[in-house]
Amino acid sequence: MPGNDNPYIELLKYPIAVFAILIALVIARFALNITFGPVTKVSTGGVEFTQASTAKIGDLEGKVNGLAMELQALKNASTTSIVTSTVKSTRHADRSLEARIFEATQTVSDQTAQLAAMGAQIFPSKTRQTGFIWIGDYIDKWDPAKLGSTDTDEPVTSTPDELQTGIEYQVLDNMVIRERAPKGNQGYLVSPISSGILPRGSLVRLLQKPVRSDAGFAVQYWAKVEVVK
């Protein structure tokens, strides 16, 4: 979120930083055998803490991204008062803005994705993670496409109905994994709970046909996936 100097957004970033620091401490204890103060052992509880905190970071960062874009849109708008009605009119006047805001809420920064990837390497799960990710908007084409071919690294061009279950795809962005697909246009502040972060380049296997969700400003598709690598 470069260029954003809104004090409220800056305050919202603090919980993200706190979670990130705590995760980094737990990872360092295992990876580098560094002990912090009275901490002498990190058990499976530490693993669970790391996984849950990573999911929470993804959820928080996505919402902060969305709020930052909305505030920037209001700042750029020619208006003298900032009220709820102004927010709604600004968003609905530009459907592409709403789509960009939504995309920002479902993705995280490279730094956050790297932290999640490091945690997964230090604390590998005994079972493969499953969940729902937004794979893009589609009418006549994907805009954007969040899944790519494992052979060519190119974005998929197949229609949602042509995407086959059991096939592996590459994730083209740092995606937030959700426990379920949203129902209609719920708004990103009440998005389904995050269950983790899927770094760019991860391999996933499609478990079900993509789920269509009409958000009003776009026709979104969500896929239930299994994380392969």
Residue 193 — very low, low, confident or very high, per pLDDT cuts 50/70/90? confident
Strand partners, 204: 169, 227
Could you give the CA distance from residue 134 to residue 225 in angstroms, rounded to a whole number? 10
Asked if the model's pLDDT at residue 215 lies above 80, the reply is: yes
Could you give the CA distance from residue 177 to residue 192 in angstroms, rounded to a whole number? 9
Q: Exposed, middle or buried by CB within 10 Å (0-12, 13-18, 19+), for 139? A: exposed
DSSP conformation class of 162: G
Residue 130's pLDDT is what?
92
**pLDDT tens for each residue of 30-51:** 554 444 444 444 444 544 555 6
At 14, phi and psi to the nearest 5?
Answer: -60, -45
Asked if the model's pLDDT at residue 22 lies above 60, the reply is: no
**pLDDT tens for each residue of 139-183:** 999 999 999 999 888 999 999 999 999 999 999 999 999 988 887
Neighbours of 10 (CB within 10 A): 13
At 183, phi and psi to the nearest 5?
Answer: -110, 100
The whole-number average pLDDT for the span 101-120 is 84
